Amino acid sequence: MPARPPGGLRERPVRSASRSRTAVRFEKASGIRQRVRFAAASPAASFAASSGFIVRRASPAVRHAPPRRLIAPAVAGPQFPFTRAFPRKSIVKSSGSARATRRNAVSSSSAPAHAEPPARRAAKPARKLDGAAARPLAPTNAASAKPQGRTREDKDRPLFEDIRYLGRLLGDVVREQEGDAVFDVVETIRQTAVKFRREDDKAAAQTLEKMLRKLTPEQTVSVVRAFSYFSHLANIAEDRHHNRRRRIHALAGSAAQAGTVAYALDKLKQAGDASSKTIKQFFEGALIVPVLTAHPTEVQRKSILDAQHDIARLLAERDQPLTARELAHNEALLRARVTTLWQTRMLRDARLTVADEIENALSYYRATFLDELPALYADIEEALAEHGLRARVPAFFQMGSWIGGDRDGNPNVTAATLDEAISRQAAVIFEHYLEQVHKLGAELSVSNLLVGASDALKALAAASPDQSPHRVDEPYRRALIGVYTRLAASARVRLGEGTVPVRSAGRGAAPVRATPYADAEEFAADLRVLTDSLALHHGESLATPRLAPLMRAAEVFGFHLASIDLRQSSDIHEAVVAELLARGGVEADYAALPEADKLRVLLAALADPRPLRSPYLDYSDLAKSELGVLERAHAIRAQFGARAVRNYIISHTETVSDLVEVLLLQKETGLFEGTLGTPHANARNGLMVIPLFETIADLRNASDIMRAFFALPGVGELLAHQGHEQEVMLGYSDSNKDGGFLTSNWELYRAELALVDLFDERGIKLRLFHGRGGTVGRGGGPTYQAILSQPPGTVNGQIRLTEQGEVIASKFANPEIGRRNLETVVAATLEATLAPHSNAPKQLPAFEATMQTLSDAAMASYRALVYETPGFTDYFFSSTPITEIAELNIGSRPASRKLQDPKNRKIEDLRAIPWGFSWGQCRLLLTGWYGFGSAVAAYLDGAPDAAERGKRVALLKKMNKTWPFFANLLSNMDMVLAKTDLAVASRYAQLVADKKLRKHVFERIVAEWHRTADALAEITGAHARLAANPLLARSIKNRFPYLDPLNHLQVELIKRHRAGDTNARLRRGIHLTINGIAAGLRNTG
C-alpha cells in the first residue's frame, strides 16, 4: 500500500478556473475532457494525470477541519482518517435525472476512459496548489483506458470514498451540534464494536457493555442517532454507486445486463423465441401491476426521506465536472442537508393516519412513477425496435394500491378514507396533466404559416376558447388551450372547485365552462390528434420530449392514478351477510350453517333480483361500514372509471362460501348486475373476487376451492364477462409463520402448479397476485430471480405483486433506482413467459419428490421449536423487541391488544409482519432459514450407505444448478444467513430471565443455524457467505460494524425499560434503535 501523508491534509481535487471558451467548445464537440495535473511534477502527479484523476483544492472549511474518524467503513482496501478521505471525482457527466442519464448513455465507445476512477491514490501527496490556474494537459484519447482490467476493489473505490465522505460530514455535524464529548463517545463505541466483531474479543464485549451501561439517556439518544444516520447515508451511497456502475456499463457499450428488457430480448432471440409475432402477442396479453401497500413496516418519516432524496441528488452532482466554487457550494448544501437530518426528529410523535399513508405513497408518484413509467414504455419500444418490432405497446404496466382500501385488521379504513384516497390520487394526476399541457403550450409554437396541420388538429384548435390574435397561426397552442380548459373542467367536476391549481386559459381567453372529458381515453384521444398531426408534418421529434410521455401517462394512469384494491377478512363478510339474512327473515343463524347449506342460501339470494337490505331497517355499525365501502366503490367507478376500483381481496379464504359472500355484498350495493344462475340474465360483478390463500392448509386446498367455485351455477358467465380471467392471491407471510421458510416456499410452489393445471383444464387464464413482503421470510428478495423461479406456466404474461413498507422507499425513492426496479419486473415476466422452459429441468419429478421430503422434515423441525417447545412464546417475547415494536407509530393499523397481556400471548395470534420484524431486529432472522439444516441432515443421514449419501448430495447439487426454484431458495437463504449474527443474538437471549429456558431455546437455534450453514455449503460448494454475490457480501460486511452498536444499545435500553425505567428519552432511544437497525439491514417486516 502506498504511504499515507504523514498528517497534513491531502490535496482536494480542483479544476482550472482559466479554461477558455475554445477549450470548452472543443471538449463538448469531441466528448474528451481536458485534465488538470498537479502543480508539482511528482510521481503522484504523473499518476493522477495518466489515470484521468482530477485534483481539486480543498475548501477552507475542509482544509482547517480537525481530524475526525467517525464511522469510517470497514472495507477491504486502504483505510483513511476522515480528514484524508475525499470523494473521488469521476468525470462521467450525469444530469442527475434518470431519464437524462439514459439519453446521455446512448453514446460512443470512447467513453470508458471517463468511467472509472484511479485504482488508488498517489503514493505521495501533491504540493498544495497556489491560486494560479493549473496548466492543462493536451487532450488524451479516451479509448486508451480500459476499465475491464480493473479489480472489484478498484470498481468499488468510488463507493468507499462516498461513504467515507458522507461519514466525515456526519462526524462534523455531530461534533458541531453535540460537542466533542459526544463525538468521542460515538467513536470509542465504534472502535470497540469493530474489535468485538472482527476478533470475537470477549474483553471488548465486556468493555462495550460497561460503556453502554454508563451512558446517560441524552448521550444514548445522540449515539443511536449517529449510527442510525450513518446507515441511512451508507444506503444513499450504495444506491448512487449502483447508478454509477450502470452508467459506466452503458458508456462502455457493454452487453445488456440481466434484469433489463434488452437482455431478455437478446436471450429470447438466442433461443429462437423472439419472433415479432410472439413478442407482440406477449405485450397484447400482458398485465403487470406493482401494488403499494400500507403495511406497518415503514419506519422512516417522510421528512427524513425528503432530506435523503436531496442528499442523493447532491451526491450525484459530484460525479459531474465541477469548478472549485461549484464543488464548495455542493459541499455546503450537503452539509446543510446532513445538519437538517440531525436536527429533524426521527420518530413520529403520533401514530400515522390513513391520510398520512396516502400522502406518503403519493410522494413516490411525484418523485418517480409519473416520469419513469412513461419513460420505461419508451425504452421498451426502443428495445423492441432494435429487434425489428416497431410497434406501440399497449398500457400493460399499471399501478395498484391498497392504501385507503385495505380494511383487514384496520378499522380506521372506511368509505371516507377510500374516498380520500381516490380524491388525492386524482388530484395528483390532474395536476401532472395540467402542468404538462401548460408546458406543451409553451413549447409547441408551430405556425401554420410554415408547416401544415391535420384537419383533426385544426378542428381541435377551432373548438378552443382561445381568442388571442397572437396565436391565430399557432393551431397546436390553440388546441392545447382547449385541452387544458377541458382538463380543468374534468378535475373540477370530479374533485370540486379549487381542488387542483388551474392557470388562466391564456391571454385573450374569456372564462369558460368547458365540457369535461368523459374519461381519460377521451383526453388521450385529443393528445393523439396532436401527435398524429406532428408526425404527418415532419414534427414527430417534437412529440418525443413531452407529448409522447404525456399521452402514455394518460393511458396508464387514467384519471385515477392507481387502481385501489379493497380487502377484508372473510369472517367480517360472514358476519355482515349473516346480519342481512337474519334481518331479511331469510336465515336466522347463517354463520352456524354447514358449508353446503351456506352455498344454498347464498346462491338463492343471488338468483333473486330483490335486495336483502331494507331502507326501513337499522343495521349494526359493522354492516353499515362494510356496505358503505362498497357503495362508495360503486360511485368511484362511475366517477373515475372502472379501473379506479376493480378488485376485492378476501383474506383468510378457507371455503367457497367466502367468495360467494362477497358477490352477495356486491349485489346489495349496486356492484352486481343481473341474477346469478338464471339463463340469459347477463350476470356480472363489478369487482373481481380474489381469494387470498395464506396458511399452509389453505394453500393445499386452493385448487379444490377454486374448482368448486368454478362449478357453481352462473360463475362461468361471470368469468366470461371478466375475459375468462381469474386472479388468485398467495400470501407468503402467514404460510411462513405457519410452517417455516422451506415449507412455505414449497407449498406456494405446489399450490401454483395445482392452480395452473385447473385453470388450463377449464380454459381460464390465471393471474397470480404475490403478497410478498420486505424480508425473505415474507417472500422478499430480488424480484428478478423470484419471478424467474416461478413454476412453469404460472406467469404467462400477467403478474401482480405487493410492494410493502420500507421496500417502497428503497426501491422507488430514487428515480433511477425506481426505473431499474420497474424494468426488472417487465424483463423477468417476459423471460418467465417466453423462455423455452428453462425453469423445467428434465429431472423435475425427482427434484419435486426430494423437495417434498425436505419440506416435511423442515416443517416438523420448525413447528417443534415454535409451537411445541414449552416456554417458546415467553422466550420470543423476552428476547426480541416485539412489545416495543408494537408501540412504534409506524402505521395506521392499531396494535394488537393481545400482545399487552402476557397470559394470553400466543404465536398464533401474532401478525406475520411484526413476527418477522422482531427476528430481524435481534439479528437471527429465523423466518428465513430455520428448519432447512435439519431437513437436509435427515435426508442425507437417512441414506443406507456412503454411496447413497453421495448420490443424494449430487442430486441436491444438481437441483441447485438446474432448477431455478431451488437455486433462488438457497440464494435467499444465503443472504439471510449472511445478515444473521449469533454473537449479537446471544446478547438478546440474555433478556430472557429464565436461564434454563434461555439456554435450551438459544442452543437449539444456534445448532440449527450451523446445520443450515453446513448444508448450504455442502450443496453449493461455497463455505463463505454470499460467495456468488460479492456486491451484496461487501455491502453487508461494511455495515455490520455500525449496526452492531445499535443492537448492543437496544439490548441495554430494553433491559432498563423492562426493569421499570420510565424515562421518556430511554423509550425514545429504543424506538430509534429499531429505526436504525431496520435501515442498516435495509428491510424490516
Is 737 one of the catalytic residues? yes
Give, to the nearest 10 degrees, the angle between helix 547-557 and helix 520-536. 160
Segment among 280-284, 294-298, 418-422, 878-882 with least mean pLDDT: 294-298
Res. 543: pLDDT tops 60: yes
Q: Which of 346-360, 736-750, 1040-1054 has the highest mean pLDDT?
A: 736-750
Q: 690 pairs with which residues across the strands?
A: 649
From CA 45, how far away is CA 121, in angstroms rounded?
10
Q: How many helices (H) and strands (E) does the chain have?
A: 42, 11
The per-residue pLDDT for range 320-338, each reduced to its tens digit, is: 999 999 999 999 999 999 9
Identify the three-state secondary structure at position 287. strand
From CA 1013, how far away is CA 933, in angstroms rounded?
7
How large a percentage of the chain has pLDDT more than 70? Answer: 81
Q: 770 pairs with which residues across the strands?
A: 730, 801
Q: Indicate the pTM of the whole model.
A: 0.84
The per-residue pLDDT for range 120-179, each reduced to its tens digit, is: 333 333 333 333 333 233 333 333 334 455 566 678 889 989 999 999 999 999 999 999
From CA 885, how far away is CA 917, in angstroms rounded?
8
From CA 520, how far away is CA 490, in angstroms rounded?
9
Q: So what's the pLDDT on residue 8?
A: 34
Give the closest residue to 563 by CA, choosing from 494, 625, 641.
641
Q: Which residue in this structure is represented by grid cell 494525470?
A: 49
Res. 395: pLDDT tops 50: yes
Q: So what's the pLDDT on residue 168?
A: 94
Q: Which residues, other chains included, contact 585 with Cβ-Cβ below 8 Å and sequence gap of 6+?
A: none
- Alpha-carbon dihedral of residues 319, 320, 323, 326, nearest 10 degrees? -80
* Candidate list 267, 309, 737, 1037, residue with the active-site label: 737
H/E stretch holding 293 reads: none
- Say if CB 560 and CB 429 are below 8 A apart: yes
Q: So what's the pLDDT on residue 76?
A: 39
Give the closest residue to 515 by CA, choosing from 485, 478, 556.
485
- Say if CB 736 and CB 774 are below 8 A apart: no
Domain segments of the chain as ranges: 565-771, 844-1081
The per-residue pLDDT for range 772-825, each reduced to its tens digit, is: 866 555 555 688 999 999 998 899 999 999 998 668 888 898 899 999 999 999
Query: Which residue blocks in 444-499 are alpha helix, DSSP H?
Result: 455-462, 475-495
From CA 897, how far away is CA 892, in angstroms rounded?
15
Ramachandran angles phi, psi of 765, nearest 5°: -85, 125
Q: Which of 103-117, 208-222, 709-723, 891-905 has the highest mean pLDDT?
A: 709-723
* Candidate list 155, 267, 295, 652, residue with the active-site label: 295
Is 295 one of the catalytic residues? yes
